[in-house]
Structure 1
Amino acid sequence: MFFLEERRRHPCRINHVALLVIDVQRYFCDLHGGAYLPGVENALKKINDLIKAFEDKALPVFCTVHRGNNKMMKQWWGNSVEGQQTELSVIQKKAQIIYKDSYDAFHKTKLENCLRKEQVKQLVVCGVMTHLCVETTVRSAFVRGYEVVVAQDACWDKNDWYHFSSLKSLAHGFAVVSLADEIICMLGS
């Protein structure tokens, strides 16, 4: 197992949890999106499974929408994300939508207030891109005192190298890395 050493030190438990789905929108997940990620379809299935499991248990679900409308994001990438490119690519009924303009879902958003209102202590995080918005948000959650579980197979990136490098770093110091089906099983117990 890729993350076995880290899992021995930090076993995965689910408690006062919310699901945070990062940037699963047309821009990244649609074949004609501005930054389509080939292979994302496999992660989308797992993300939808997680959303359904959380909604079935009446647990909070938050979905971020990346716009990139800040100076540094525009300077680095040369654009922002607008219109249909911001539409979500997942099936969700009750999710709270969090609009963000940087990699970090906490930075200048309502996310932390929403989590406090729901008395969330732990986040299950999934989405795209693993090495940018997912990783930055996980690190930010950790320094804010949240326990974090990253659903390895419900995240995706430009390629395996970025994806697994990021997961390995997160497992070393910030989060438990688990499979979506394992998380769903823990929700049932």
Structure 2
Amino acid sequence: MNQSIRQAVMQASQQWIADFNSGNFAACLARYQAKASMSVSPFGRFQGIEQISSFWTEFAKSAPAELVYRNVQIKVLNEKQAVLSANWSMNIASGFISKELWSLADDGQWYLQEDDFSVLTQLEQPLEKAERTALVLVDLQNDYYSGGKFELQGIDAATEQARILLTHFRAHDLPVIHIQHIFKDSAAPFFNENTHGIEIETRVAPLDDEPVIVKHAIDSFTDTDLEQTLVELGIEKLVVVGAMAQACVQTICRTATYKGYECEVIADAIAAPQLTHPVQDFSGEQLVAANLISLSFGGAQAYALNDWLAKYGK
């Protein structure tokens, strides 16, 4: 029963998005109950269909389009009610949906009873597609290099490719996000707090205006500001470089895809260690290859750097 309700609410929500993106605001408004309430931070609260209609009519003057929901969660309250939450972005704004309360009416259709969302970022001019793509550099920190506590194979070559791509993003004023891994456990084998090993390698060190997301777990989304940063920047696609291929790179790509982001990984800009297994030893190159194969199935599209630049470089 719950699964069928979730599917029905998802379909109703997707139809609302489709109507919005086609400019059919009358159809969007028809999905609100007559006595529905809508709370929009920081603009205020709107009670009833007339006030809700006035808000959307005014908002439509800014030519909104390309609305997308990501990280959609639906919780069923009972047979006739379910709550949807999500991140949202469009060409001119982005934010969080804290609560869409959908209710099943006597006509068998689902309608919005409550609609609570926030606008984190609002732009005067729409973002171009390229501006909604962020380069994400994962854990390129000193402990992974010569003299560090956990040197990776191929890390210098991967870092040089990452540096080239970083230069491209900076030259075109495109978003760049750095991920820095710091273990809280003092017994961790590397990336220990207050050590030289946690510092980002100088060739790809962040500029003052580039966000640095500090994490304490393998997944860059766990208990970090990464998702908030992506929403605030209006990001739709991540281009991932860094280390390690079998751990943090694999995980950020999987989680990003699960949350609804496009994800690409630069094959010659990631690195891995040599690892020993009871059956077989694996070189860093083999681990990179194996993880690229794994990610190709519903995880991320892999490109060599030159191929990516040929396709997307200006």
Shorter-chain TM band? 0.7 to 0.9
- Compared CA separation, residues 42 and 78, structure 1 to 2 (3 A): closer
- 2:296 pairs with 171, 174, 177, which one? 171
Work out whether residues 63 and 96 of structure 1, in 8 Å CA contact, stay in contact via their aligned partners in 2.
yes
Task: Give how far 1:178 is off.
Answer: 0.4
More displaced 10-residue stretch of structure 1: 126-135 or 80-89: 80-89
Percent of aligned positions that are identical:
27
- 1:46 pairs with 152, 158, 161, which one? 161
Instruction: Give a deviation string over 1:102-129, Cα, whole Å, max 9, x none.
Output: 1111110001111111100000001010
Instruction: Give a deviation string over 1:45-92, Cα, whole Å, max 9, x none.
Output: 10000111011111111111111226xxx78x5565222111111334
Distance 2:170 2:292 in 1: 26
The structure where helix makes up a greater share of residues is: 1
- 1:27 pairs with 133, 143, 148, which one? 143
Work out whether residues 177 and 210 of structure 2, in 8 Å CA contact, stay in contact via their aligned partners in 1.
yes
Indicate whether 1:81 and 2:177 are aligned: no
TM-score by length of 2: 0.52
- Helix, strand or coil at the partner of 2:239: strand
Distance 2:300 2:172 in 1: 23
5 Å-filtered alignment, 1:5-154, equals 15=130, 16-29=132-145, 31-69=146-184, 77=188, 81-82=192-193, 83-89=195-201, 90-91=203-204, 92-93=206-207, 94-154=209-269
Distance 1:164 1:79 in 2: 24
- Helix, strand or coil at the partner of 1:183: helix
Residue 4 of structure 2: aligned partner? none
Work out whether residues 22 and 63 of structure 1, in 8 Å CA contact, stay in contact via their aligned partners in 2.
yes
Distance 1:59 1:45 in 2: 19
Work out whether residues 242 and 271 of structure 2, in 8 Å CA contact, stay in contact via their aligned partners in 1.
yes
The count of corresponding residues between Structure 1 and Structure 2 is: 171
Work out whether residues 46 and 153 of structure 1, in 8 Å CA contact, stay in contact via their aligned partners in 2.
yes
Q: Any stretches of 5+ residues in structure 1 without a counterpart?
A: 1-13
Relative contact order, CA 8 A, sep 6+: which one is greater? 1
Report the residue type matching 1:186 in the other structure: K
Work out whether residues 27 and 81 of structure 1, in 8 Å CA contact, stay in contact via their aligned partners in 2.
no
- Compared CA separation, residues 142 and 85, structure 1 to 2 (3 A): same
Larger gyration radius, structure 1 or structure 2: 2
Distance 2:244 2:191 in 1: 16
> What CA RMSD, in Å, does the superposition of the two structures yield over aligned residues?
1.8
Task: Give how far 1:163 is off.
Answer: 1.1
More displaced 10-residue stretch of structure 1: 61-70 or 46-55: 61-70
- Compared CA separation, residues 160 and 57, structure 1 to 2 (3 A): same
Task: Give how far 1:179 is off.
Answer: 1.1
